[in-house]
Structure 1
Amino acid sequence: MGDLSEIGGTGRLPVRIEVFSYLRDHVFESAAVFPAVESMQLLARAARGLESGLDVATLLDAAFGKFLVVGEEEKVIEAFVEFENLGDDRVSAALNTRMRVSGSAMTRTREHARVCFVRSGMISENPEVPAFAESETEMQVPAEDVYRELVPMGPKYQNLAGSVQLCPAGALSEIRAPDVGEADGPLGSPFALDAAFHAACVWGQRYCGFIGFPVGFARRHVIRPTAPGGKYAARVLPAGSERVENIFNLWIFQPGNRVFEVVRGLCMRDVSGGRKNPPAWIRREQ
């Protein structure tokens, strides 16, 4: 590991990603891909051992680059984390792999996820969850319909519960995090945030006519980690839209305004190049 004490200091940490069976339920266009929520968990674990004052519960400027495809026979993925001291009490961490260039002995580095962690006490948040009146709901989509037709994930990633309530002002849904011990870590259960991404995807399919995939966010603050087997709710509010990109703020919470985490500036983008489109029944008449 390099010395990060100076601005511009860098370091590299090899990591071996064990391909647990549940990871194969996270799919995109029929291929298993390593989830963004798992990449953040891995980076937080690595950063936690970097220096004692680093706050791994606050993540800034996340970018999820190239998909990390999980091969059908792959049991372990060899990867590495690159750290850089950016100054302003921020440390950048990126998850990378090397791939062989077809027809040659050369290799190329691929970046799959990058976040910035901050030093303790730099950022704090005690947010209120925006109110959601049931009278605003104009459509309710049962979770089974979401996973059958809108977000085709395998069983371990089908964690929206009940129905997703939709209106132009946002989405609200219950979440149940499965009790998968291997998935637990410093950021809590990854399944809760992943399910909140699904609610944002459903909102985008109805009101914007495209299937969005998380490609980054401005800030994530884990106030208290979600737990395996826990029950939560997700509130998703749109904060901007372009032709193939939506921006959201989201909250994961329990009754009584007990907030577990907040994500600001979540970017959901059509990464299929227009190959995939929402079914007609979910789209709102424009």
Structure 2
Amino acid sequence: MVNLNGTLITAAKASVAIDNRGLNYGDAVFETVRFSSGKICFWEDHYFRLMASMRILRMEIPMNFTMEFLEEELLRTINSSQNHKNSFRIKLLVWRQTGGKYTPKTNDVQYVISCEKLKTPFYELNEANCEIELFKDHYINSGLLSTLKTNNRLINILGSIYAKENDYENCLLLNENKQIVEALNGNIFIVLGNKIKTPPLTDGCLNGIIRKQLIAIIKLIPDFSLEEASISPFELQKADEFFITNTIQGIVPVTKYRKKEFVKETAKVLLQKLNLKARMG
């Protein structure tokens, strides 16, 4: 079942207008949320990121779009599933209502909530090899819009095709200054000794929920220091460890970049703490 503007309906019967602004102009934002152990992980952070994104895109936020209302709509959608006790990946997509061309006729919004079952109720360390490469055909523009989860993901799509064609598990995206911004599906962290480094939002990386959680976790660990600073491709050759973060997978260790191979020790430590934080809310 999907939730289309508050109405539960089968996915096969759900439809939107052919002149939907999200479809025609990329005039939409979304949140991908993890549901596990009977609750939505890091829901408050997801909610406030969604509200901030809607404000930046000049969408009219409905009066009933409170944190409690949207949480209830997410849970109602989950509970309509026959396997509602499982863990789920939930997507909440919000778009500006139909009307106008580049200039919208209204800033009012509509939404849809969909979900799919996940295999595990908690984050697990990926033990498989994860070889990555730079994607240099197109660049992310550093700036505020690049930090938002809009439905214009052409660079991510083209990078994913490039990775598939060349047998890489992931690729790294660069901004116009040739600095590494993020991976195709998440934020990045590198470890050099006891220093952990991640690109700043000003470089154009996604304002990721797990990125935020890990920054807070790392700051509480005396053995590590955290730096939000630009990362050049040359730094990858010096790093001891490299991992990718996102809401669904948690932490994904990178094992190889060109001739450089990485360990997973810091990722193991942080993953335990992330799981604990997710369970605590």
TM exceeds 0.5? no
Whose strand proportion is higher, 1 or 2? 1
TM-score (norm 1): 0.32
TM-score (norm 2): 0.32
